Amino acid sequence: MLLSIDKTTHLTIKKTGSQLKKYDLDERSLQDILFKSLDRLFPDDELILLMQSRHWQEEPDLMAIDKNGQLFIFELKAWESHPSNLLQVLRYAQIFGPSKYADLDNWYKMATDPSQSLKTAHNAKFATNVDEEAFNKKQVLVVITNGLDFKTRESIQYWRSCGLDIRPWVYRVYDGPSNEILLEMSAFRVDDNPYEDIAEGYYILNTNISNDQIDHDDMLVNHKAAAYFDPWKYKIERLSKGDFVYLYQSRVGIVAMGKADGKLVKTSYQGNLSHPNEEYYMKLLDFHKINPPLTAAEIKRITGIDYVFMQTMFGLHATGGKDMRKFMVDNGRISA
């Protein structure tokens, strides 16, 4: 995340990244840029690079080995939300997943010094002795994609929930001074919020009714946005004063909304002293109940985004958040 700071007021604004096509860059152009900065992309204590893709070859953009001998297979995606973003990396996993140590050793020698074996280089870098049979017992699939590409990030989140070790490495591009482009890379991340780059002060928060009716009722009666226990409670820390929060009831829809007061409160869960500080909440000002509730289908239709509503809390694009509120006002579900 890149923040712009007003030196006079000290207020911060989150800078929104852009798509590569704005700078007349395509996937190959970005790949070439990253290849020239591999020493920054792959820290010495994390991975050993095995190979880079060649033109007109069915090969991953990058492959590397970690300390434990796991094979990292990388696919770079500059074309946001393209349906092949995940299919391609899965195809490479099918092709290169069965590779033996001899294959890895051959790729390493072609990419570096042919006089040094991969095992020797691996031992020298990580100070660990991994048997040849232990190399490539597991694969890690990495999709390098633009932060704005929430569709690909949604899919990665889904396949991770199914047990596949696939991870998003998110890059962001910003306007720089003169003829420069600023590139930010979030490498070695595992968990992800697909909507963090499009969230601009509008959030949907699950009322937790599926787990406990008391939590749901407490939010509606006491006009609050709350989450409970580690790690879900920390979601509330993301809220800032004035952020719009839509309270979502599972299998019903958005049942209420308000604006965060910006004051984080930590308290015992349901007043039980055996669970201290396991509830984080903020009061919601200008609180409205929604009647009838705004359904999941309506949210998707209004915003044009197929959100996953099982999450504790996630951000909305400002345009979608505003359109939802306008729809509810125009249709008499809340007062203006």
* pLDDT at residue 147, rounded to an integer: 80
**Residue range(s) occupied by CATH 3.40.1350 in the chain:** 2-186
Low-confidence ranges of the chain (pLDDT < 50): none
* pLDDT at residue 53, rounded to an integer: 77
CATH topology of domain 2-186: Trna Endonuclease; Chain: A, domain 1 (3.40.1350)
The phi, psi pair for 259, rounded to 5°, reads: -110, 130
Look at phi and psi of residue 32 and say left if phi exceeds 0, alpha if psi is from -120 to 50, else beta.
Answer: alpha
Can you list the positions of beta strands (E) in the chain?
2-5, 12-15, 47-52, 62-66, 71-77, 139-146, 166-175, 181-186, 202-206, 224-228, 244-249, 253-260, 265-267, 279-294, 313-316
pTM for this predicted structure: 0.60
Q: What is the pLDDT of residues 16-63, one digit of tens each?
A: 777 777 788 776 677 677 766 665 666 667 888 888 777 667 788 888
**Residue range(s) occupied by CATH 3.10.590.10 in the chain:** 202-330
* pLDDT at residue 236, rounded to an integer: 94
* pLDDT at residue 56, rounded to an integer: 66
* Superfamily for the 202-330 domain: ph1033 like domains (3.10.590.10)
